[in-house]
């Protein structure tokens, strides 16, 4: 089995335990940066993520949520099913970006250096005062 197939299988397995309760969406600090989430039902947003993991179609607002994920993992502690939601979001993002042998549903970044720059910036360990001045 290829790695992509293994990830797709594991994502679908995790999706089986998801009830689409929406608690992860409500706990997410990035929802204000995802178009349409403020007006959307959290259960429907979560259902789109679950559908994507199952290989089905996701709504536009669910894709926006997946695209806005910054891996804060605030979703994990909110999940009543004790699922690793951050990992589910990672798998959903991979599927949405065509990394699991599908058609990309979200824009794919072409700048391969952005991740290293973000990590480098995060490791600067800015104080709250510096963040207030710089960000």
User: What is the contact surface with ligand SF4 in residues (CB under 6 A)?
Assistant: 18-24, 46, 78-79, 81, 83, 85
First to last CA, the chain: 45
| Min dist. Cβ of residue 93 to ligand SF4 (A) | 14
Residue 21 or 106 having the CB closest to ligand SF4: 21
Q: 20 vs 94, which CB is nearer to ligand SF4? A: 20
Rounded to a whole number of angstroms, the minimum distance from the CB of residue 38 to ligand SF4 is 18
Tokens 């990394």 correspond to 99
Tell me which residue of 27, 100, 12, 98 sits closest to 65, measured CA to CA.
27
| Nearest distance in Å: CB 104, ligand SF4 | 23
Name the minimum Å distance from CB 106 to ligand SF4: 19
CA angle 36, 84, 20 (to 5 degrees): 45
């Amino acid at each position: 089995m290829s790695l992509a197939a293994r990830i797709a299988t594991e994502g679908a397995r995790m999706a089986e335990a998801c009830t689409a309760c929406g608690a992860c969406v409500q706990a997410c600090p990035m929802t204000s940066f995802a178009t349409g989430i403020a007006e959307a039902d959290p259960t429907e947003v979560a259902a789109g993520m679950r559908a994507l993991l199952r290989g089905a179609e996701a709504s536009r607002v669910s894709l926006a949520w997946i695209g806005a994920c910054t891996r804060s993992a605030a979703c994990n502690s909110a999940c009543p099913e004790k699922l690793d939601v951050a990992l589910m979001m990672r798998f959903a993002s991979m599927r949405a970006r065509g990394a699991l042998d599908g058609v990309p549903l979200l824009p794919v970044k072409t700048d391969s250096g952005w991740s290293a720059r973000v990590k480098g910036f995060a490791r600067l360990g800015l104080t709250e005062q510096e963040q207030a001045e710089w960000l």
